[in-house]
Chain A
């Protein structure tokens, strides 16, 4: 006589025994995959995208037509101040020779002197960036050393999304500028516009960011808005690049 209940229990035991190797194998594969993914992530994090940043020598010049209270607190026109910029990642330091020649570190203006300079915004300008206030005096790079902040990407396997994430985390304006430039170069003008806008909101002294912002607007068909933005920026910074771009836009309009 067959004891069915005992046989069913034995069958369950048999099935469990039979499944154990599969479960172990699946767990092993899962653990292996997790380890692999983890190590891949680690590798991605450990060597950050090698961005070489050249620190420009900047000259703080007063703006002749700036508001009176601004003039009062802006350092004298001859004052040259190096502007140390916090790099988000590996920074290519200047060579000793460059440092000895160009760098004469002086104390930055005290925080009390950093009175925000509000930009007057036309009412029909819907830009957020324009409404941002300048928290530092307008910085104009000298013509002779008009080297824009450049971030050079050496790796071909870099991921723009990773840099975007980093920018979200640390709000470094140089990263923002880099991303804006990247998108502009790749024809993604709305993204370039957005990142330039964000960058300007964080740091409104980066000329290239303003230029990318304006050029993106032009590419997006909002030339008038680009012109107004450039005019505003020129009024604050006397940027030659901005002037040149504005002239070009005006000439094109006249044509």
Chain B
């Protein structure tokens, strides 16, 4: 049994997307309310995009968690690249149609008309940039037929502006862009996450200087922040066990933050 003060905070920052770990930050909360409102509108497709690590997947999971209580929602967080498999899985999960064979688009649309839901079922697609253009075109056709409503997330990278592609340009009716966290938001994120897990002592160790350094290293990226803090608390766990005299409990040592940065590849030695 690990009794370290830092083992619990360490595990909090494991890079796992869990809607129960969702931390409410003003800007993200605003985005989420917009997203929820958009889902209620008679839109066909809603696009959620942003740089990697801006919290798209978390928001999608949170949406799934919240909406699934009231209506039919299906989330595909690992892309199903094969078209036949994609439609078959959708038919099974949304309409309960079990078939071992791959089904065609026509079959799927016929199935959708046969089953009526009071509200259009919602399909949440994470990492939609991995789908082929052909499959995206079929998704568009399904949404045009109002068989399903899609909320998709996309990575917005510097190299390729996927949103500029035709099928997104013409069909997306609402798009929401997520940004990296500011220094203040990152502070709230870390503090809230720690306080939520009753790690008060550790939460008190973060001062402004520490937060600035973390923000500088991670550039406000939530995923990088999680990785960095996981590594940081792993270091603290080790020091607490082996050389506790080196730990000051009133503030985090910038040295250890930098070491964690080196460990996670955020800093180059």
Contact = CB atoms under 8 A, between A and B. Distances in A.
Contact of B255 (A2, A11, A13, A17): A11
B267 A4 contact: no
A10 interface: yes
B158 interface: no
Contacts of B269: 10-11, 13-14, 17
B258 A11 contact: yes
B63 interface: no
A14 B265 CA distance: 12
Given A10-B269, A14-B268, A14-B269, A2 B235 contact: yes
A252 interface: no
A7 interface: yes
Given A7-B262, A10-B262, A11-B255, A2 B267 contact: no
A4 B231 CA distance: 11
B182 interface: no
Instruction: Name the residue in B239, B268, B269 with the highest tally of chain A Cβ atoms < 10 Å from its Cβ.
Output: B269
A7 B261 CA distance: 10
A8 interface: yes
A186 B242 CA distance: 75
Nearest to A11: B259
B258 A2 contact: no
B234 interface: yes
A110 B235 CA distance: 94
Contacts of A15: 258
B262 A11 contact: yes
Interface in B242-267: 242, 255, 258-259, 262-263, 267
B97 interface: no
Interface string A1-36: 010100110110111010000000000000000000
A14 B231 CA distance: 17
A189 B235 CA distance: 74
B238 interface: yes
B238 A14 contact: no
A12 to B, nearest CB: 9
A14 B263 contact: no
Instruction: Name the residue in B231, B234, B263, B268 with the highest tally of chain A Cβ atoms < 10 Å from its Cβ.
Output: B263
Interface string B166-205: 0000000000000000000000000000000000000000
A100 B90 CA distance: 123
Given A2-B234, A2-B235, A14-B258, A7 B268 contact: no
A4 B246 CA distance: 13
Which 4 residue pairs spanning A and B have beta carbons closest together? A14-B269, A10-B269, A11-B259, A13-B269
Given A2-B235, A2-B238, A11-B255, 6 more contacts: A4-B238, A4-B239, A7-B262, A11-B258, A14-B262, A14-B267
Interface of B: 231, 234-235, 238-239, 242, 255, 258-259, 262-263, 267-269
16 contacts: A2-B234, A2-B235, A2-B238, A2-B263, A4-B238, A4-B239, A4-B242, A7-B259, A7-B263, A8-B259, A10-B269, A11-B255, A11-B258, A13-B269, A14-B258, A14-B267
